[in-house]
Structure 1
Amino acid sequence: MFSNKIISSFNEMECSLYKYVITNAEKVTYMRIRELADETHVSTSSILRFCRKLDCEGFSEFKVKLKLYIAKNQPEELKSTQHALSEFVERTLKGNFESYIKETASFISKAESVIFLGIGSSGIMAEYGSRYLSSLGKFSLYIKDPFFPIHSKYSNDSVTIALSVSGETMEIIDLIKKLKEEGSTIVSITNHKDCTIARISDLNISYYVTEEYRSKSNITTQIPVVYLLETIAKEIYKQANS
């Protein structure tokens, strides 16, 4: 409704009117045109010209579109962390996580180094996984820069842990391809198996939780990823000291 193009076309009076409408949107939907004119100190004809700029034939249509705009931009109720944790725990008990964790740990135990990949929130998890594993005595590094140069000295005799909720992050896919060409074993941790990253990996661990988005941001819980990274690291330590 209020696109950047339309807002940039407003004159000083229309900008003032726009600011009032946005600040008092709920209230405006119940006002008469005369009431809005009195509140904003502009004429009713100015308000009608404002409405036409927004592709509305009159003030009534403007209020209808404003109600739809409010509803569209209303914050969605977020799932509780407890709900996300319960969802993951239930699926963990039913899945094959233990066998996947042991297989991943076996790959890493035989490798010289570990490379964690991730971008955005998955990049933070990659950094955490690298630090956690290094604390337990296994050399690892993380890459959260999609333009990070891949050299053979990093990937020779290595295992790559690729993190992606969607499993379709193009930058991670490109990095995985480069690392596979250098001979790195790829283990991916994604939210589901039906994704590109899972298909091109040597081993995939999927945790299946309900994905959440706020606007364009993916805010899906990272609790399963923390659990898997810590459990894999501890299994490696266990195998090395058994």
Structure 2
Amino acid sequence: MAIQESFFPTVWFGWVWLAPLLGMVFAAAYVDLRRYVIPKALAITILVTGVLANIFRGAWLGVRNQSVWLLPAGPFLGAVDGFLFALAGFVVGFGLFFALWLLRTCGGGDVKLFAAISAWLGPLLCLWVLGLSIVLVALLGTVKMLYGLIRIGPNASLPSPTTSRRRSDKELTVQEMLERGQRPKRLLSFSLPVALALTVCLAWKFRHELGLPEIFGVEQPASSSQVTQR
């Protein structure tokens, strides 16, 4: 009978598994903040490595007679289950951010990035990351808006209709503005909040498996800490 114990086969595997994920996600956030674009190649790399990482994780857990998600334990079934786990995460993550894209609350790069991240996380943990990301986006957006109001001041003059019409006639794309050395104005971006939310959720979810210190004195029985989201 399969034993459902842990998300990672070993502690060191957990750290090796998480390090490239966080590294690539923060790299995507950095590039997005600097160039206002998330490289498609980086998003694809995150997706492919996420699928491969879960396949390898599933096979290793199968060798240890531990199940991954839906299928019984075993090296081959574990690898297949790891692939299904990653696929389900990708579908859920893509669907959620595609809905946000339809609502014009995020860009296409954000959709690809979060879908790729979800291939690492699976269909449940990505929901927690999304929820915390939305909270962080709202907080950062509010802070940025208040800072702008304080810096500009309440008595700032409004642009004249002629100026507004001139600006609308000469609207530039983000790429054109970057080529001219101008910084496009945007209220917020999802990439950095997603990276921060991902770090917090991973640290909290896998704190026992990774040997992280307890926070706020929260104790959790070993048996329940070993059963992860499937």
Q: Same fold (TM over 0.5)?
A: no
Give the structure with the higher percent strand.
1
The TM tier, using the shorter chain, reads under 0.3
Give me the TM-score of the superposition, normalised by structure 2: 0.26
- Compare relative contact order (CA 8 Å, sep 6+) and give the higher one, 1 or 2: 2
Which entry has the higher C-alpha Rg, 1 or 2? 1
